Amino acid sequence: MGANTELEILRIFIGETQKHKGRPLYEAIVQEAREHGLVGAMVSRGMMGFWKYGPISTLKILRLSEDLPISIEIAGEHDRIAVFLPVLEVMIKQGLVTLEKVNVVINKDEKE
């Protein structure tokens, strides 16, 4: 897969404390993504965020939250993403998943 390849990016928003079969949900999602042959995944922990019906979670010392927002981005080909989406549907009990098409302009994934 080189430059000028079209991929899709899944962006998943969940809470840090969510679990799947006893382990952190973000870890389970990344593991499943790898097993489904997706191109790559990255997990980011938010400094601040909120859900529509919940309080604002923040890293501020006076309001230290135990459930900070987590964002997971997963890249993959359309066909593999299509197979992976039903897996996410089962795993995620509360959260938001978005999907967008992207064009790869640089891909340097060779080991040196």
Residue 55's domain is classified under what CATH number? 3.30.70.120
In 16-111, the DSSP E strands lie at 19-20, 23-24, 40-45, 48-49, 57-58, 69-76, 96-104
pLDDT at residue 92 in the model: 97
DSSP symbol at 19 = E
The structure's pTM equals 0.84
Token pair for 40 = 């790559």
Percent of the chain with pLDDT over 70: 81
CA distances from 66 to 5, 14, 49, 62 (A): 39, 13, 12, 12
Average pLDDT over residues 66-74: 88
Q: Which domain holds residue 25?
A: 5-104
Does 10 reside within a domain? yes
Does 20 reside within a domain? yes
